[in-house]
Amino acid sequence: MIWLVWRRHRLGILALTLLALALAVYLVIGSWPARAAYYQVTNGQSPASCYASQSTSTLCTQLTAQWRDTYDDPGDVLGWLGILIAPAVLGMFLGAPLVADELESGTQRLAWTQGVTRRRWLLTLIASEAIVALLLAGVVQVAVWYWLGSYPPDGNGFGAFDMMGMAPLAYVAFALMLGLAMGALVRRVVPAMLLTLVGYLAVRIPIVLYARPHYLPPLTLTWDPYVTPNPRIQPGSQDWVVSGGWLDSTGKPIGRGDFFARVFGAGGPRPGPNYCTPMGQPDANIGTDFNGWNTLCTHNYGWHYQTVWQPADRFWLFQGIECALFLALAVALVALTLWLVRRVLA
Amino acid sequence: MTWVTFRRFRFELVTLTVALAALAAWLIGTGLQHYAAFDVPYVGPISAAACARQIPQPQPNSECYNILTTYLNQFQGDGGNPLLSMLLSNTLHFLIALVPALVGAMLGGPLIARELERGTFRLVWAQGITRGRWLWGSVIAATLATIALVGAITLVVTWWSAPLDQIVGHFSGGFEMEGLVPLAYALFALALGIALGLIVRSSVPALFITLLGFFLVRSLITQLATQLYAYFMPPLTITYDSSIAVPPTGPQMRDWVTSSGFVDHFGDPVSQDLINGICGANDPTTAGNPTSACVHAHGWLYTVTWQPDSRFWAYQGIESAIYLALALAVLAVAIWWVRRRPV
């Protein structure tokens, strides 16, 4: 039976293998210049030794700034896109046609009436495709770990959550089963592929934006920067600052636009001892940072600054939660597919 | 004939419409936030929108310039999470710019290939109409559907990115998401899909190769573009002594600066490293610091090359023409290929 699966899907598997290898090679080779420059020694120092010793000497500041400007760009479009979209591509091209192809061309009438039961046939299909997909994803994942290793300052911790650890493999499992379920649901290959892509993004993005910050209650600090310029407990550089902003005297958040309107607006204070920032030089980080602000002004309004963060040591716990969530979704989608297939008459 | 094709592709058309409607809803939701913040009075009665409309365009470090920078910072990323900043950045633009290709590929890949892989072409081609008419009917229907779907989403995207365009200019803003080029991308992807469908005779592989091929061609042209496009129309150039003042005839806020740097009195470029090594690490392009005084003493001049924002439509025309020409070429190759081999 496995032989049959391979015969039917070898073309797709080969094409996706080539694509996965290309992505892996791109990531590995693409990170070589950054890696080389990171260990490049200039006047006895390298960015690596500077980061390790946390030195603030002029040379170190210059070296690390230069390295960051040139290389430290995990926003690299191709790599990021590849990593974010790769699971969806596997789901679209490996998962969606699995059942939909059979239903669309009517061959399920033959395939599902042989000696093998429908359920067993389907489970074998799912298992073999899942193994192929996870193998491919594994190859890419090893390359991603190497790639991340080339950007040490930002290449670990919450900043790279979506690419680190086992979470990407859980995304692949989810995308594959989503493709499968969409195929069984709409029974047409091309619409199923499109729905897989849309569905994948529609689940992944809201989870990043709205669910992940609340896997565990975040730590919160609310203070008046005028009274306490330097609170004792603050998020560290490795912690994940989920949000930060000003609260008014009743504790309601002040939108960034409102903040400007209230500080500079028609009824607000004008230049003088009471203004919040020098006119014509709004702080680049307005609403997220109070550095450089005349905090007397915000104090007079009765405003407090609030920071909400997840400490760095929760990283692996969050990875576990995210993996469990996506694997549970994948299992639910398999159950849905089996139910659909049993209900759909051959 | 057209109607039959619409019927054949009703499931694809319905799913594409639903998916694009969802994207449009998201764009309208975030767009309303952009527009609300755009009209908020920042300093006294001055809003970002008023600053963006200011003539002449705001100069660096002016009040309006800073208001606009602040406005942009609100919508550009949150440093905490690269995925989040990515979604709000150029990568989002890149993703949106892939949507037209997806539409074209989804309609083009299976257009002919599905008939071929299922063998239904034997029935279709034995009907009253000729093979050629059937083919052109299908192609015309798919083209109309692509233009309608991509045109509709492009209108929403254009509205969505308008505040950005009014600040950073159309070249750095929504160039690849608005105007004519999304239609050209979509039609190229459609043609590539139809052609590959004719050649590989199987819809899913055709779709796969189409998306991959489109991605490669577009990345290649975009790479070339940053180097070549700058010279499709003779760029404007200005060379001046930056230690004195920035001349008002230089590039404005919304123009596309294609290159800039220092030159010596022979006109040869002087590298940034050399300047920093000799004159220190201050910004040599603004007057009134030791570095710029030292640059002045060496007689080095600052030279800037740019394309004005007003050439947006000319460049849209150039880029669209490239993709439409590619689309026609790909179709021609496919037709030649099909004629050459017996069905």
Q: What is the pLDDT of residues A182-201, one digit of tens each?
A: 998 988 888 999 999 989 98
Mutation to test the A interface, candidates B18, B23, B26, B43, most A Cβ within 10 Å: B43
In a domain, B45, yes or no: no
> Is pLDDT at B307 greater than 50 in this prediction?
yes
Check if A194 contacts B (Cβ < 8 Å): yes
B58 part of a folded domain: no
Are both B130 and B168 inside the same structural domain?
yes
Query: Is B69 a member of any domain?
Result: no
Cα separation, A321 vs A194, whole angstroms: 28
Å between A159 CA and nearest CA of chain B: 5
Same domain, B150 and B208: yes
Question: Mean pLDDT score of chain A, rounded to an integer?
Answer: 76
* pLDDT band at residue B187 under the 50/70/90 scheme: very high
- For residues A105-126, average pLDDT: 76
* E strands, chain B, in order: 41-43, 46-47, 236-240, 256-263, 269-270, 301-307
H helices of B201-285, where? 203-228, 272-279
pLDDT at A257 over 70: no
At residue A297, the pLDDT reads 67
A19-50 pLDDT, tens digit each: 889 888 888 887 787 777 777 777 777 777 77
- Which of A105, A265, A284 is opposite residue B70, by nearest beta carbon? A284
Same structural domain for residues B161 and B262? no
Residues of B in contact with A241 (CB under 8 A): 79-80
Residues B98 and B203 in one domain: yes
User: For residue A274, what pLDDT band results from cuts at 50, 70 and 90?
Assistant: very low
Contacts of A159 in chain B (CB under 8 A): 80-82
Partner-chain contact A208 B84, CB within 8 Å: yes
Q: Give, to the nearest 10 degrees, the angle between helix B10-39 and helix A189-206.
A: 30
Distance from CA of B70 to the nearest CA of A (A): 6
Task: Answer whether A229's CB lies under 8 Å from A315's CB.
Answer: no
Same domain, B170 and B265: no
Which is more confident, B42 or A27?
Answer: A27
B288/A127: higher pLDDT: A127
Q: Do A258 and B70 touch (CB under 8 A)?
A: no
* pLDDT computed for residue B76 by the predictor: 53
Residue B297 belongs to domain spanning = 236-310
Do B333 and B205 sit in the same domain of this protein? yes
Please check whether residue B158 lies inside any domain of the structure: yes
Whether A74 has its CB under 8 Å from any CB of chain B: the answer is yes
Do B210 and B296 belong together in one domain? no
> Does a structural domain hold residue B251?
yes
Residue B47 located in a structural domain: no
- Contact flag A284-B69 (C-beta cutoff 8 Å): yes
Instruction: Please tell me the total count of domains within chain B.
Output: 2
Q: What was the pLDDT predicted at B75?
A: 58
B116 and B180 both lie in a single domain: yes
Q: What is the ipTM of this complex?
A: 0.80
User: Of B49-63, B67-81, B207-221, which gets the smallest average pLDDT?
Assistant: B67-81
A197 to chain B: closest CA residue: B19
| Shortest Cα distance, chain B CAs vs residue A309, angstroms | 10
Give residue A302's region: left, alpha or beta (phi > 0; psi -120 to 50): left
Q: Residue B48 domain-assigned?
A: no
Q: Which residues lie across from A309 on neighbouring strands? A: A219, A241
Residue B86 and residue B196 in one domain: yes
The candidate with the shortest Cα–Cα distance to A290, out of A309, A278, A276, A308, is A276
Place of tokens 């220190």: B280
Same domain assignment for residues B277 and B199: no
Mean pLDDT calculated for residue range A319-325:
94
Q: Is there a single domain that holds both residue B304 and residue B316?
A: no
Among A198, A208, A260, select the one facing B22 at the smallest CB separation.
A198
Highest mean pLDDT among A139-143, B184-188, B221-225, B303-307: B184-188
Mapped to the 3 state alphabet, what secondary structure does A303-343 carry? CEEEEEEECHHHHHHHHHHHHHHHHHHHHHHHHHHHHHHHH
- Residue B53 burial (CB count, 10 A): 11
Based on the fold, state whether residues B224 and B336 are members of the same structural domain.
yes
- Residues of chain A with Cβ-Cβ distance to B22 below 8 Å are 198, 202
pLDDT (tens digit per residue) in B94-153? 778 788 999 999 998 888 888 888 777 777 777 777 777 778 888 888 999 999 999 999
Highest mean pLDDT among A219-233, B207-221, B285-299: B207-221
The nearest alpha carbon in chain B to A257 belongs to: B37
Residue B89 included in any domain: yes
B78 pLDDT exceeds 70?
A: no
